[in-house]
Structure 1
């Protein structure tokens, strides 16, 4: 990735998405059983543990983890083809994808509010909705090509933080990504403890709506040509 390319406000916007990822994965892991909807590495491991009967305490479900991977793949395939023929401004591309996420996240939040999340059909429906949303996000973020801000995984970010020689602004961006994910996860855990079970999803939906609006406004500014 080109470190010298002008990314405008995209790093800040993607940090917001990283916070949202922490909120959603806190909900999926703590409420839906040991399953992630954004971190596919963890799901592949969990599926392997569950398939061999070594899931341990907590009841890892290999159908649930495989569903998360499959739904994420569908979202990623959809997101990967988004806007390929139109070549929209990166800010508008992000806004369009986030609007799709708003729809999916709001639907998931509504289901978590009115239905019993412990019921298997409800749990699987929530996993599918959330994993599709996160797959779209991951594909679009790859298209945006902002270094060190994948918004869903931190392994390479943390590795680069300690293994590479880098400019101060690059180090700051990497640290900010880690802090954003931590903040989202902590916020999601706090909402689950002191608010309702659906609160992390409603918070995620609200954050996404603010992000979509901000992206559209910023992409329309005259200065937006520098980070197209």
Structure 2
């Protein structure tokens, strides 16, 4: 337990001399954003994810098979928007690859703008969202999450992908001392799962209590705070900024 807690603490309050410097807590914040926006998209936009693309591939199969409640068009829109966002994020990452702080900052600026615009649409459009409003929301959020994922991939902070938890949870179990492993990084991995759970819980609670747009407001505020922190990091000369 002490190893797990130490690992969790070092993720929340990292040693700035570490290879990844101050990046881990910011990656956790983005993981919370993932839970918030996917709670909104799944519960409000109708069985579609804007961050977890595995779900949309599966949902597409369900829709083609004729299962009710699933939209092939919505799933494909999310997949296409996410891919476009990942392309934009990749352009940023490759252009600024000499400084990891600048990669994060520019990606967050893009994502914050996209999520904020989505919030404005969600706040002003009539509910339940249908037609163009629904697809604008899917497109904007998919673009934003694609940018986030491309940046997270470029930064490559171990066990903090910000969206995918399958390998994270696998690592908690398969690398545990009970399984014969060292138990290393269990604290960080657990925090990643808790962060996404927290975002999903808060987002779902807001939606279910009649505040459909609130998860996007929370996501935009969290992204704005992360962008402010990344602005400072973009000017850092620490060794963590060097490309991997």
Q: TM-score, normalised by structure 1?
A: 0.91
Q: Give matches, 1:35-74, under 5 Å.
A: 35-55=48-68, 59-74=69-84
Aligned residues between the structures: 220
Q: Does 1:188 align with 2:230?
A: no
CA RMSD of aligned residues (A): 1.7
Q: Does 1:208 align with 2:223?
A: yes
Q: TM-score, normalised by structure 2?
A: 0.85
Q: What is the alpha-carbon distance in structure 2 between the residues aligned to residue 167 and residue 92 of structure 1? A: 33
Q: Give matches, 1:157-172, under 5 Å.
A: 157-164=168-175, 165-168=181-184, 170-172=185-187
Structure 2: stretches of 5+ with no match in the other structure: 1-17, 176-180
For the Cα contact (< 8 Å) 2:93–2:154, is it kept in 1? no
Give 1:193 deviation, angstroms.
2.8
Where has structure 1 moved over 4 Å in runs of 4 or more?
none
Q: What is the alpha-carbon distance in structure 1 between the residues aligned to residue 99 and residue 201 of structure 2? A: 33
Q: What is the alpha-carbon distance in structure 2 between the residues aligned to residue 53 and residue 167 of structure 1? A: 44
For the Cα contact (< 8 Å) 2:85–2:145, is it kept in 1? yes
- Residue 35 of structure 2 is matched in structure 1 by 22
- Residue 153 of structure 1 is matched in structure 2 by 164
Structure 1: stretches of 5+ with no match in the other structure: none
- Residue 12 of structure 1 is matched in structure 2 by 25
Q: What is the alpha-carbon distance in structure 2 between the residues aligned to residue 11 and residue 202 of structure 1? A: 23
Q: What is the alpha-carbon distance in structure 1 between the residues aligned to residue 235 and residue 219 of structure 2? A: 25
Give 1:88 deviation, angstroms.
4.2
For the Cα contact (< 8 Å) 2:90–2:147, is it kept in 1? yes
Q: What is the alpha-carbon distance in structure 1 between the residues aligned to residue 226 and residue 98 of structure 2? A: 17
- Residue 199 of structure 1 is matched in structure 2 by 214
Given the alignment, which residue of 131, 134, 158 partners 2:145?
Answer: 134
